[in-house]
Amino acid sequence: MAKRFGEGIILAFVLIWVAACGSGATSSGSRSGDEGDPPGKDYEYLHQHNAALLNGKTVRWPSTTITVSGATSGAWRRAIGRWPEVNFIFVETDAEIDLRYDHSDDWCGRADRRFDSSGMIYSCTVRISTRHERNGCGAEVDTVTHEVGHCIGFHGETHDGGVMDLTTAGSSEITTPVREMINLLYALPVGHDITSRLAN
């Protein structure tokens, strides 16, 4: 039986976000237009799996170096390190990404990513089910990779047989479209408006 990964998103400062979007104002740190944007990239995919969260503006960490706590095993650290587009520093406490076990019969893993109205991710909590094997979730390290993918900015799931697919027990591969999207995301500033790059 296939189990679903979970992704929770909390948008902070909701009233500020509504006011900014309602007035058509741009958030600080974003550029208008597409001047300086990397050419030949899949902005539609970036919109679908990231910028749709914030009305066409990129949602990412302010730095490509992110602290992680709770990854006490070498296997979990290697699973996180499969995302070479960003650098992870493993610390004991007070990290930007925090991993932990949690009991669930309904999901394999969950990522609760928090970001503000500027598009800046400021924290993410990853929960891995203590009943992972019993739930038929496949390799625990692949679940860790999947959920950290959400933490660094990948929204939703794929259907291409890779590690970001909706169900577990599939491939452990980070597919080319996913990897290229994360590369593009971190080549652009936080809150960068990509709507001018979209077909419609």
What b/e readout covers 129-152, taking b as 16+ CB neighbours within 10 angstroms? bebbeebebbbbbbbbbbbbbbbb
Question: Rounded to 5 degrees, what are φ and ψ at 196?
Answer: -70, -15
CB count within 10 Å of CB 123 equals 16
| DSSP string for 7-58 | EEEEESSHHHHHHHHHHTPPPTT--SSSTTPPTT--HHHHHHHTGGGGTTB-
Count each helix (H run) and each strand (E run) in the chain, helices first: 5, 6
187 phi, psi to nearest 5 deg: -90, -10
Can you list the domains of the chain with their CATH numbers? 4-26+61-184 (3.40.390.10)
Positions of the chain with pLDDT lower than 50, given as ranges? 1-2, 8-33
122 backbone φψ class: left, alpha, beta (φ>0; ψ -120 to 50)? alpha
For 182, which DSSP code? H
Q: Note the pLDDT of residue 122.
A: 98
Predicted local confidence at residue 6, as pLDDT: 55
Q: What's the pLDDT at 150?
A: 97
Contact 8, 108 (CB under 8 A): no
Return the number of other C-beta atoms located less than 10 Å from residue 122's C-beta.
Answer: 13
Using one digit for the tens of pLDDT, what is the confidence trace for 92-146?
999 999 999 999 888 899 999 999 999 999 999 999 999 888 877 889 999 999 9
Q: pTM of whole model > 0.75?
A: yes
pLDDT at 166: 81
- 91: CB partners within 8 A, 6+ apart: 67, 68, 69
